[in-house]
Amino acid sequence: MKTCERCFVDLEETCTQCPCCGEPIIDPEVAAVNRKHQSIRILSTILKIFAVIVLLGSIYYAIGSKGIQTLYMVGGGIFGLVLLWTLAEMEKVFIDTEENTHYILAAKKKGSTKG
Ligand SMILES: [Zn+2]
């Protein structure tokens, strides 16, 4: 049984919006997963910001350096960008995997109570 989070009215299982207050009804398991992953999403964004800062920093110092050092600076900056960006994207993959698992488990649970 679902309950409206705002006015605590009992709702139908298939209900997507509260008939009393109009509050959209989200599956409680999905809502819990969303809350849990909010901090990981923020960290992922911070990692991407750092990735860009690393590249910009390396370009800044590459301008001031000469010869092979310029190549090292830019190369290191691109390497840092790719590495941090990959880490940030991998967090998304982990989140997607866990969300999929939750959806599958929820679907299985609903299926078993039907019959
Ligand atoms: Zn309501």
Phi, psi dihedrals of residue 17, rounded to the nearest 5°: -145, 140
pLDDT at 114 over 60: no
Position with higher pLDDT, 110 vs 19: 19
Handedness of CA 32, 33, 37, 38 (dihedral sign): negative
Neighbours of ion ligand 1 (CB under 5 A): 4, 6-7, 18, 20-21, 23
> HSE on the CB side for 76, CA within 13 Å?
13
DSSP states of 46-92: HHHHHHHHHHHHHHHHHHHS-THHHHHHHHHHHHHHHHHHHHHHHHH
| Encoded tokens for 15 | 């209900």
The predicted-structure confidence for 18-76, as pLDDT tens digits, reads as follows 888 888 877 777 777 777 778 888 888 999 999 999 999 999 999 988 889 999 999 99
Domain locations along the chain:
27-114
CA 30 to ligand 1 center in whole angstroms: 19
Report which DSSP code applies to 25: P
| Encoded tokens for 45 | 């964004």
Q: How far is the C-alpha of 51 from the C-alpha of 102, rounded, in Å?
A: 31
Q: How far is the C-alpha of 115 from the C-alpha of 97, rounded, in Å?
A: 28
Global pTM value: 0.60
CA 29 to ligand 1 center in whole angstroms: 18
Phi, psi dihedrals of residue 72, rounded to the nearest 5°: -60, -45
